[in-house]
C-alpha cells in the first residue's frame, strides 16, 4: 500500500528579537519550552500526526538548526520513523513569509498540499484532519483563524473569501477599496495550508504571504477555517513562553 505523503513547512527563519537574550546566541527554533527545543516539540507533534515530509526554513543561526535537524532525524528516538526532513536555506537572504514559500517550492514538487506552521506556535489542533480535508477540497488555501483579541486581523467576506488585512489600532486596510461593512475580522493562528500549484507563477523574492494570498484569491478560493483548540500559544515573547510552560506543567 502506497504511503500517503503529508508535507509540512516549518517557518523557523525568524530573528526572534522579542525573545531578547534567549536568541542572542541561538535561533528562536532552538529556544526551549520545558527543556525541549520548540522545533523538536513541533516535529514530534507532526510525526505523531502522520506527517512524513517536513521542510524547515533557516536564516538566523541557521547552521545550528541544520545541525540539529541532522542529529534529530538520525537519532535512535526518531530515526526509526519513515520521515524525510529537508532544509530550505535562507541564510544568504531572509525571504519573509511569502518568499519562504516561493523559494521552497522545489521541495513541494511531489506534494498535493503543504501545511505551514510557525515554529513559535504551540497548539493541539488536529493538523492531520485539516490537511486531509483540505486535500479533498477545491480551495487554493485555508487560513486557520480564531475569534480572539489581536491588533491585526484577517478580513473575509460573508462567503469566507480572503480579502486582506486590517489593523485595529491604525484602521489601515490593505484590501481593495474600503473595508466592507459585512465582513468578518478574524485572528490568524500562525498555521495555514496551500496547494503549491497556485504559487508557481510568482517571482521568487522576499515578500509577505498575505500579499500572495490576496492575488491568488482573485481567481481561487482562499478561505478561513475557524479553530477551537484546547490550547494555543504564540511563543514570541519570554512572558508568553513562561505562561505556556506553566499551563502545560499544570496539565500533566
Q: Which residues form the domain of 154?
A: 7-250
Report pTM: 0.95
- Whether residue 78 is contained in a domain is answered as yes
Task: Report the C-alpha gap between 19 and 97 in whole angstroms.
Answer: 19
Region 84-98: what's the mean pLDDT?
A: 96
pLDDT recorded at residue 179 = 96
Number of domains in the chain: 1
Lowest mean pLDDT among 62-71, 80-89, 200-209, 229-238: 80-89
Question: CA geometry: angle at 230 spanning 85 and 193, to 5°?
Answer: 40
- Whether residue 94 is contained in a domain is answered as yes
Neighbours of 147 (CB within 10 A): 11
- Whether residue 48 is contained in a domain is answered as yes
- For position 68, which CATH number holds? 3.90.550.10
- Whether residue 1 is contained in a domain is answered as no
Give percent of the chain with pLDDT exceeding 70.
Answer: 95
Of 4 and 166, the structure prediction assigns the larger pLDDT to 166
Q: How confident is the model at residue 116 (pLDDT cuts 50, 70, 90)?
A: very high
Residue 118 pairs in a beta bridge with 11
Task: Report the C-alpha gap between 134 and 145 in whole angstroms.
Answer: 15
- Whether residue 126 is contained in a domain is answered as yes
- Whether residue 40 is contained in a domain is answered as yes
Question: CA geometry: angle at 38 spanning 132 and 26, to 5°?
Answer: 135
Of 175 and 236, the structure prediction assigns the larger pLDDT to 175
Burial, 24: exposed, middle or buried (Cβ in 10 Å; 0-12, 13-18, 19+)?
Answer: exposed
Burial, 235: exposed, middle or buried (Cβ in 10 Å; 0-12, 13-18, 19+)?
Answer: buried
- Whether residue 238 is contained in a domain is answered as yes
- Whether residue 2 is contained in a domain is answered as no
Amino acid at each position: 500500500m502506497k504511503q500517503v505523503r503529508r508535507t509540512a513547512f516549518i517557518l523557523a527563519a525568524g530573528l526572534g528579537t522579542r525573545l531578547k537574550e534567549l536568541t542572542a546566541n541561538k535561533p528562536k527554533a532552538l529556544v526551549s519550552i520545558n527543556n525541549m527545543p520548540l522545533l523538536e516539540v513541533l516535529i514530534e507533534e507532526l510525526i505523531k500526526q502522520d506527517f512524513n515530509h517536513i521542510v524547515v526554513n533557516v536564516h538566523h543561526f541557521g547552521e545550528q538548526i541544520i545541525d540539529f535537524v541532522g542529529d534529530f532525524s538520525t537519532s535512535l528516538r526518531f530515526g526509526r520513523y519513515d520521515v524525510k526532513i529537508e532544509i530550505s536555506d535562507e541564510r544568504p537572504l531572509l525571504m519573509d513569509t511569502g518568499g519562504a514559500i516561493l523559494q521552497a517550492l522545489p521541495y513541494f514538487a511531489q506534494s498535493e498540499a503543504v501545511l505551514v506552521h510557525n515554529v513559535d506556535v504551540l497548539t493541539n489542533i488536529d493538523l492531520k484532519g485539516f490537511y486531509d480535508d483540505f486535500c479533498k477540497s477545491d480551495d487554493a488555501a485555508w487560513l486557520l483563524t480564531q475569534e480572539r483579541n489581536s491588533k491585526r486581523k484577517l478580513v473575509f467576506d460573508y462567503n469566507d473569501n480572503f480579502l486582506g488585512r486590517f489593523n485595529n489600532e491604525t484602521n489601515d486596510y490593505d484590501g481593495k477599496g474600503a473595508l466592507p461593512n459585512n465582513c468578518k475580522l478574524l485572528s490568524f493562528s500562525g498555521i495555514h495550508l496551500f496547494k503549491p500549484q497556485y504559487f508557481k507563477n510568482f517571482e521568487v523574492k522576499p515578500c509577505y504571504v498575505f500579499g500572495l494570498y490576496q492575488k491568488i484569491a482573485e481567481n481561487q478560493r482562499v478561505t478561513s477555517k475557524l479553530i477551537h483548540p484546547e490550547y494555543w500559544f504564540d511563543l514570541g515573547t519570554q512572558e508568553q513562553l513562561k505562561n505556556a510552560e506553566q499551563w502545560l506543567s499544570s496539565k500533566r
